[in-house]
Structure 1
Amino acid sequence: MKPYFLSLLTVWLLALNYAHGSIRRDLRNIQVAQMDGEYKIDYNAKEIVFIDRESSFEDVLRCQKDSGKLLTYTEDKEFIACCARDQNLLGSADTAFDCCYPDQHLTGSHNTGYRCCLKGQIYDGTCHDPKPNCIEGKILVNGKCVCPSNMVETHDGHCRPLYSPVKCEPDVYEGRCYILRMDNGLLLGQDKNGFYSTSADSYAHSFGKFRFCKTMVCDGKSAINPDEEIYVLDMHGQYKNGENGAYWIDKGVRGDPLGTTSSSNNAGSFSITKWELGKHCMSGFKQGLVSKASLLGFVSPNSQACLPMALIEVPCDIHDPMNNCRWTKNPDRGADKLYAPFVSQFGN
């Protein structure tokens, strides 16, 4: 800045407009100073001194002392503003500038303006989560991308027709109940800690009776294909007191052993396929299912890892008189499998 023989007030006003750290009033949201030329930072005084070798004056830039704010740079060090101690200066000359908290970003447009919103949100007058961009044939329902009602989601996220074009029929059905005998000959159930494992039945281990469901209402009775997502309802619970009976097998946390949950949001998702003759193999729908020290857990992302087992269909309700019709004295003349209706205690 070249010297002027003007009043101190006039010099100060001119400094705001023409100093190397000139105040930009043409930008949006907050005032910023654009850093230019030679300057030094006085950390003790919390101010910036701009130096003009051709002038006897120095321009000093600092925040108002009683504002509680500090000089804060943009990431590229080109602009500076007065922000609260735990805020960052975000933006650009092409958009806007604002002081945002660490969990926020500056978002918006020239039409709507720019605001600090939580990371991941957008701004169009208000901050909100963006609508998902549905792909793979999915449609937006209640803010989520789902397959149309006449299609189901496969393990790789695609939608396929509800009825499989494959002619060979599956032999596992939703709404029916099964006990699961693992390759070691032991039944799957809960241990004394409420985790699923394979062990000899005892006071500390109760075998489970499992119902496979395509929805949380669990009112269907169609065949289950290997590429369909299912949820598993344990009708038994713990042997000691029956607690957690008719609860979902959960999805585990960070590889922890699987337990039970009453929340549909925490229910684990599974898939099941025919395996060697007379056996099936069960996996997570998008994760692998393994047994570690006899405890069940999901592994990610290998969805091909599955646990071989024998499925034995049993009555869902052991007090139903129709159980008399399940088989006769001649095992070769057994009646057709019966579907036992079930009213979900959880709803959707």
Structure 2
Amino acid sequence: MRVRTAVTAFLFQAALIGAQGIKVEDIESTYTLDGNVIYIDAADDGTGGFQEDRRLRCRDNTVPRLTSDKKHVACCLNGQNLVGNKKIGFECCAEGHDRVGTAATGYRCCPTGQTFDGQVCKEKEKVEKSCENGKILVNGECACPPGTKEMEDGTCEKEECSSGLETGKCYEFTAENGERLNFAGAWGYAIGPESKSRRSGKFRFCKDKECAAGLPINPSDLFYMQDVHGNPRTGSNPNSWLNKAINGKHIGKTRDFSKAGEFSISKWPCGKYCLSGFEAGLGIACPAADPSISFYENDKQACMRFEITEVPCDIREDHNNCIWKNNADQCCGGKVDCSATEL
């Protein structure tokens, strides 16, 4: 049985409940709710009783209602909640309502999301959110425009486009006539059909002899090309470098890295890339149905257009399973990036 001492009773009448006349008690620490009575900040007297207890008893179809932060309590009618704060005052509002308004208009219960203009509840005027630092509104939030990225200071800067090509990855080259770049023995690297004596090149892009992987290949970068395949008939000289043959001499293979050709590559319209030299241009070596290629010192802007497809460097690695999709579109990420393709 509870023993209560030094009790002060607060009997709140329904008549006191209204926009202006609601009486509210503060809860500093604890409370105990018992039906239509709430015991506020009761302290244990050590004998199972309570000392310095305040009691709020609600009458006339009212019940104790606490604010959402459990810091204030008042008597409200069934179906109402106690809303507000000490700055704007408190009110018992129906479900789905809040106490809103301003110091100039006064405060009243209005449907959640509306405001009070001094006479009636009304929809809030939508204020178009403004953005700074070059950002634009995207789904109601400020974000950097497409083609830009957010910097540490919150400003937007133009984002450099990626070539999609990386060191350590392997690629096939398909010319505009549909034939691939392949090794043709004494003819070096040429554009033509694959045969017993010609195998399409599988070219690994490298920025150094060790071919550190994962580095981007941009148009301003020097890179080397390593053909994973050996000679078609014998399989000899796999992983050889394409050499630096110039001015009509056919580009072939070399095991000597110091003689490796220096390439550059740039994106080209319609999904193609244009392959060139880093300091020289690249073009057809001589007229032929299946022409070989050569570097040209007298035309540094010359380049050869190819469609490039990423292919496995090692056909026996399990992660090759991630390259293809199981749907109508079998191509992976724009053909030159299969690393994040979903199965």
More strand by share: 2
Q: Normalising by the residue count of structure 1, what TM-score does the alignment of the two structures yield?
A: 0.48
TM-score for both structures, normalised by structure 2: 0.48
- Which protein has the larger Cα radius of gyration, Structure 1 or Structure 2? 2
